[in-house]
């Protein structure tokens, strides 16, 4: 039987759009105490108002995942307001049109690794001590199928997304005796704003077959509702045309 998420404290990092936004919505509708975090305050306030109209309250937090201080403050503020964090969903990610090695620069590389990988570690290290102390916690990371197989998404993106898989699996191995679970979700093509950062956006017929953000959010929710005795270390979620 699926676990109830009522009153569980959930932080969603990268909640202003796409998969993160849909994830925050689903958790709120399940009765969780959701803290939706991102850099874009206007987007977060719109999400908050949309859910309030449905009768669901969420908290929002303006935070940059690439800044360790922001992630530490996010976790500290959440614990002060709601108590211990039960679930962390790390969804923040970006790419660049200048992804080919002929155009990639050290500055672009650093930005890509900072947002896509370092942020995942910053959020993890901020929340782990309290989870470890109470012998409970679930960390869910959104990576990409690009983290598992070579494609044209670029060296920086692939390196970062593979790094997220390594981080997730290392945390699980080291912390499983402390009751901490991890899952890393690797979606295929999803129709989100990140596609605007492709050199050439996918054709309309391809996008029509792509996953929707809500598809990935549903998978995250499914994993989160598993009983504490069960764990899904890694999940691939692909459009059926692949």
pLDDT tens-digit series, residues 182-233: 999 999 999 888 888 788 888 889 999 999 999 999 999 999 999 999 999 9
The answer on pLDDT for 242 being more than 90 is: no
Q: Is 122 a catalytic residue?
A: no
Catalytic residue among 90, 122, 141, 157: 157
pLDDT of residue 6: 95
Report the pLDDT averaged over residues 2-29.
Answer: 95
Q: Provide the pLDDT confidence category of residue 93 given band limits of 50, 70 and 90.
A: confident
Contact 91, 65 (CB under 8 A): no
The answer on pLDDT for 47 being more than 90 is: yes
Report the pLDDT averaged over residues 164-181.
Answer: 98
Q: Provide the pLDDT confidence category of residue 1 given band limits of 50, 70 and 90.
A: low
pLDDT of residue 30: 96
The answer on pLDDT for 2 being more than 80 is: no
pLDDT of residue 190: 93
> pLDDT of 111-139, one tens digit each?
999 999 999 999 999 999 999 999 999 99
């Amino acid at each position: 039987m699926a676990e109830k998420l009522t009153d569980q404290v959930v932080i969603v990092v990268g909640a202003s759009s796409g998969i993160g936004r849909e994830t925050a919505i689903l958790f709120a509708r399940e009765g969780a105490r959701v803290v939706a975090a991102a850099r874009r305050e206007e987007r977060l306030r719109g999400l908050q108002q949309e859910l309030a109209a449905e009768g669901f309250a969420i908290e929002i937090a303006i935070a940059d995942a690439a800044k360790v201080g922001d992630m530490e403050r996010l976790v500290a503020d959440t614990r002060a307001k709601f108590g211990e964090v039960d679930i962390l969903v790390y969804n923040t990610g970006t790419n660049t049109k200048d992804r080919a090695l002929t155009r990639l620069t050290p500055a672009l590389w650093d930005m890509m690794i900072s947002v896509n990988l370092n942020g995942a570690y910053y959020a993890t290290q901020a929340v782990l001590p309290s989870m470890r102390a109470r012998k409970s916690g679930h960390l869910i990371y959104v990576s990409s199928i690009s983290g598992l197989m070579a494609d044209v998404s670029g060296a920086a993106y692939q390196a970062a997304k593979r790094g997220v898989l390594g981080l997730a699996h290392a945390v699980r191995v080291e912390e499983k005796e402390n009751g901490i679970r991890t899952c890393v979700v690797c979606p295929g093509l999803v129709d989100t704003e990140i596609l605007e950062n492709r050199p050439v956006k996918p054709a309309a017929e391809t996008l029509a077959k792509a996953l929707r953000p809500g598809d990935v959010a549903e998978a995250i929710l499914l994993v989160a509702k598993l009983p504490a005795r069960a764990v899904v270390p890694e999940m691939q979620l692909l459009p059926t045309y692949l």
